[in-house]
Amino acid sequence: MTGKDIRDRITQLRLEKNLSEYDLSLRLGQSKGYIQGITSGRSLPSMQMLLNICEFFDIEVSDFFESTLPSPAARELRKELSDLPDEDLNCLIHIVKRMKGTDT
């Protein structure tokens, strides 16, 4: 992922939430100039800021670096599934396979 990709991903996430650069800077506790520097490509976010950005947008860091982001519904589902015990996950796998018609 290049600096341009990082810039574009942050812009994509910001626009999905209908936030201006100024709104994003306020929510992240940063100056508008800092966010503008990142989104214009003049600078890159620090590792801590990248973690903060991912947390704010409720995405995994690994998702940030994927070529495409999972849909908001898929992100919500992943979050909900992360707390379930294996027994419940196995039941859900069975249900999904039945829904798809691949359960044998």
Per-residue pLDDT in tens (0 to 9) along the chain, 104 residues: 788 889 999 999 999 999 999 999 999 999 999 999 998 889 999 999 999 999 999 888 988 998 787 787 887 888 888 888 889 888 988 998 899 888 76
Among residues 39, 80, 40, which one has the least CA distance to residue 58?
Answer: 80
Q: Which pTM was predicted? A: 0.70
SS3 71: coil
State the pLDDT at residue 72.
Answer: 78
- 50 is written with which tokens? 């990248």
Q: Specify whether the CB–CB gap between 34 and 25 falls below 8 A.
A: yes
State the pLDDT at residue 104.
Answer: 61
Q: Specify whether the CB–CB gap between 87 and 94 falls below 8 A.
A: no
DSSP state of 66: S
Do 50 and 80 fall within a single domain?
no
Do 29 and 49 fall within a single domain?
yes
State the pLDDT at residue 23.
Answer: 95
Do 50 and 15 fall within a single domain?
yes
Do 22 and 54 fall within a single domain?
yes
Do 56 and 89 fall within a single domain?
no
Do 18 and 62 fall within a single domain?
yes
| Alpha helix positions (H), the chain | 3-16, 21-28, 32-40, 47-56, 61-64, 72-81, 86-100
Domain count of the chain?
2
Residue range(s) defining the domain that contains residue 90? 70-104
State the pLDDT at residue 56.
Answer: 95
Do 41 and 75 fall within a single domain?
no
DSSP state of 70: P
